[in-house]
């Protein structure tokens, strides 16, 4: 997407050498989006939060927080690589599969081992102190599947049986979903398949309709574990057809693999409480609204929290008139039965591909002298919703605001959309064409002319036949990297991208005339069953830079007691996008998320330069960066082992983003005394 920046960096170098700071200010690089504040400590950390890293999000609530304090703001500059493990993930893989891969895994620390999955679903257990391999399991995922969402595995999950009934082999289990839609159970001590689970250690998720190709349907995120039940969603290719696979969530018995319950976000009968939000026939013909990101678990309440996506297809809703609840929602289910307890919809009748992309954050917020259990949800639109965990009602105020109308013929848009009142969007949703970015007058004018000819009325401007500014673009705002939470400061830490795109719908004709794209190389999709063809692309200048004003990636700290953005910082440089390593602090799109420590540090990779960074939690100031051998498009984690704190990140890049590919798991720590 942003790899065309390479073509223009020589211009940037020339400006830096010959233009001086006056030119940088003239083209908009003299400042950034920074809000300067501090996040003071307001409360002690509740018991049970930050004790180890036993789930993909640190814990099942998604805090991404550790109590480890050995690494501090004062000594973080001394961090060094302690060990590196190379998985060999690309060995014997065809180049076509490698070019469809992304290393997005975050390890967990269980049963004395650091356990993670590779791009191709191998599960590997390491010694946490040395990185020495203890065991590995290869599920032999097929090659040539052309997965719609790449060969990737974001994480594995851990289940431990009770001492009385579960002893010996597979008393503790590792669960993983695969690119070919299997849910696999492994012995946490040895990596051997648990033969009593499903069919010889695996159950297969069966899509609701026949697939067009094997990679149309897959599992990319770590399963959820509540009691003795394992729950998984699915990842489904977008915009192919209206009658697409349904986004059914499946729950299985952790011991036997027997199906316990299913939940379909699209109502399947008139008896469903939200069936009135759909036309009677549309729900039967509509697919997706799947849960492709990470599910959260509240063990005490017996609840699981689903982040659901948009119904099919993403950009036209004439076949699914209505608000389309439970799509684009946080849905709280009873973990034992799959029954809906409550739901909150972040986008009504989505025609922007604004899935709920991130793990719902189950946090304890200190307000008015006492703790409150909340759900904090970041979105692709750059918004942050904070809800009461028991009811789904707003904890911080939310209002319905009138949004643009006049969608394409055949669609009926929602007249309003929900907006948080206290927290403004973390990234902008519109810009004046005169503010379009460019390093030359020619480049800037080309961007301005393109933007001027697009329909642009702010967030939720509907897709159109003339072309609509999609800002933020379909990658966010926020995405699957999710957020981290410092419970001692009420501080939500989130990274978001600030890139614009366009989307255009073209009426289908019997002749099937080819599209003349707004920008060369745009993605097109047939949206079979809809009367339009979709076209979209990142909005780049002729020389390859984003047309949206920088910074193109931000890191922000938000006080969840009142919604205030405490600080906001530019995140990422052109270091690995520029010949000769020219490092300009423009920010970059970000893929991955943050982790926070009790000592007051934020660790994050995610940017399109090959670094793991540390920021000060109170101020957002960058304190350190460590060089990675490949792209760090993953979420780091941290733990203490035998008296030493480690910070670990997968460094293997993201093929679609154009970052450097690899097979490295890298651990940083302070030098041994």
Q: Among all residues, which ones are annotated catalytic?
A: 353
- What six digits make up the tokens of 552? 């193109």
Residue 7: closest CA among 544, 587, 437: 544
CA 489 vs. chain centroid, Å, equals 24
Inter-residue contact 90 to 99 (CB < 8 Å): no
Q: Which helix (H) or strand (E) holds 332?
A: strand 329-334
Inter-residue contact 378 to 481 (CB < 8 Å): no
Beta strand spans in 200-272 (E): 202-204, 217-218, 224-226, 229-232, 235-236, 249-253, 259-263
Q: What strands, in cross-sheet order, belong to the sheet with 108-110?
A: 108-110, 113-117, 123-126, 133-137
- Angstrom distances, CA of residue 624 to CA of 152, 307, 488, 616, 647: 28, 33, 23, 10, 13
Query: Can you tell me whether residue 41 is helix, strand or coil?
Result: coil
Beta strand spans in 368-500 (E): 370-378, 384-388, 398-402, 416-420, 468-470, 484-486, 491-497
Pseudo-torsion of CA 187, 189, 192, 195, nearest 10°?
-30
* Half-sphere exposure at residue 578, Cβ-oriented, CA atoms within 13 angstroms: 20
Question: d(Cα 288, Cα 261) in Å, to the nearest integer?
Answer: 18
Residue 176: closest CA among 245, 87, 105: 105
Question: d(Cα 45, Cα 156) in Å, to the nearest integer?
Answer: 26
Inter-residue contact 395 to 422 (CB < 8 Å): no
- What six digits make up the tokens of 127? 């010694």
487: phi then psi, degrees, rounded to nearest 5? -70, -15
Cα angle 134, 140, 145; round to 5: 140
What secondary structure does DSSP assign to 156-208, as a single string? -EEEE--TTT--STTSEEEEEE-TTSEEEEEETTT--B-TTTBTTTEEE---S
Query: In the chain, what is the straight-line distance between the N-terminal and C-terminal CA atoms, in Å?
Result: 44
Question: d(Cα 498, Cα 426) in Å, to the nearest integer?
Answer: 9
- What six digits make up the tokens of 151? 């060969």
Q: What strands, in cross-sheet order, belong to the sheet with 329-334?
A: 296-298, 303-307, 329-334, 340-345
Pairing of strands 296-298, 523-525: unpaired
Output the CA torsion sign for 89, 90, 95, 99: positive
Question: d(Cα 512, Cα 137) in Å, to the nearest integer?
Answer: 48
Inter-residue contact 254 to 159 (CB < 8 Å): yes
């Amino acid at each position: 997407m942003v790899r065309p920046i390479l073509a223009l960096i020589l211009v940037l170098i020339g400006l830096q050498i010959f233009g001086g700071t006056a030119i940088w200010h003239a083209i908009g690089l003299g400042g950034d989006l920074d809000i300067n504040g501090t996040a003071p400590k307001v409360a002690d950390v509740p018991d049970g939060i930050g004790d180890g890293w036993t789930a993909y999000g640190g814990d099942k609530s998604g805090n991404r927080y550790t109590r480890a304090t050995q690494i501090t703001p004062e000594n973080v500059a001394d961090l060094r690589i302690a060990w590196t493990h190379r998985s060999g993930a690309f060995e014997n893989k065809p180049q076509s599969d490698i070019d469809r891969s992304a290393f997005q895994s975050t390890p967990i620390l269980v049963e004395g081992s650091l356990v993670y999955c590779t791009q191709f679903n191998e599960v590997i257990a390491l010694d946490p102190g040395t990185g020495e391999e203890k065991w590995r399991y290869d599920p032999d995922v097929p090659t040539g599947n052309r997965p719609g969402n790449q060969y990737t595995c974001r994480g594995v999950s851990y289940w431990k049986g009770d001492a009385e009934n579960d002893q010996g082999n597979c008393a503790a289990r590792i669960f993983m979903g695969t690119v070919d839609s299997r849910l696999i159970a492994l012995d946490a001590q040895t990596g051997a398949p648990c033969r009593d689970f499903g069919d010889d250690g695996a159950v297969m998720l069966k899509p609701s309709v026949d697939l067009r190709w094997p990679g149309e349907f897959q599992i990319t995120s770590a399963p959820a574990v509540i009691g003795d039940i394992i729950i998984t969603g699915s990842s489904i290719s977008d915009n192919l057809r209206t009658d697409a696979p349904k986004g059914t969530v499946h729950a299985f018995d952790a011991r036997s693999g027997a199906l316990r319950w299913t939940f379909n976000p699209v109502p399947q009968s008139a008896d469903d409480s939200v069936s009135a939000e759909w036309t009677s026939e549309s729900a039967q013909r509509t697919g997706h609204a799947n849960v492709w990101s990470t599910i959260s678990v509240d063990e005490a309440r017996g609840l699981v929290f689903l982040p659901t996506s948009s119904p099919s297809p993403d950009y036209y809703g004439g076949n699914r008139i209505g608000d389309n609840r439970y799509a684009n929602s946080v849905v709280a289910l009873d973990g034992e039965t799959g029954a809906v307890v409550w739901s909150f919809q972040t986008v009504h009748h989505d025609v922007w591909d604004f899935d709920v992309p991130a793990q719902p954050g189950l946090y304890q917020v200190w307000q008015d002298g006492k703790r409150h259990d909340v759900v904090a949800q970041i979105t692709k639109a750059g918004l942050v919703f904070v809800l009461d965990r028991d009811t789904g009602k707003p904890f911080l105020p939310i209002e319905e605001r009138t949004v643009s109308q006049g969608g394409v013929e055949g669609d009926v848009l929602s007249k309003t959309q929900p907006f948080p009142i206290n927290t403004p969007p973390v990234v902008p949703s519109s810009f004046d064409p005169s503010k379009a970015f460019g390093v030359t007058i020619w480049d800037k004018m080309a961007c301005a002319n393109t933007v001027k000819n697009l329909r642009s009325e702010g967030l939720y401007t509907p897709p159109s036949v003339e072309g609509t500014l999609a800002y933020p673009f379909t990658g966010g705002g926020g995405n699957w990297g999710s957020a981290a939470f410092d419970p001692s400061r009420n501080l939500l830490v989130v990274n978001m991208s600030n890139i614009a795109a366009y989307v255009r719908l073209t009426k289908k004709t019997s002749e099937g005339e080819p599209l003349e794209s707004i920008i060369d190389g745009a993605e097109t999709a047939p949206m079979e069953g809809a009367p339009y063809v979709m076209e979209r692309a990142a909005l780049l200048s002729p020389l390859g830079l984003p047309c949206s004003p920088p910074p193109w990636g931000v890191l922000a700290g938000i006080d969840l007691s009142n919604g205030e953005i405490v600080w906001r910082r530019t995140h990422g440089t052109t270091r690995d996008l520029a010949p000769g390593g020219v490092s300009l602090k423009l920010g970059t799109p970000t893929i991955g998320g943050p982790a926070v420590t009790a000592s007051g540090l934020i660790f994050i990779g995610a940017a399109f330069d090959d670094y793991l960074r540390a920021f000060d939690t109170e101020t957002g100031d960058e304190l350190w960066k460590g060089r990675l051998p490949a792209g760090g498009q993953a979420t780091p984690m941290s733990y203490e082992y035998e008296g030493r704190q480690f910070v670990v990140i997968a460094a293997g890049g993201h093929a679609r983003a154009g970052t450097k590919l690899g097979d490295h798991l890298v651990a940083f720590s302070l030098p041994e005394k």
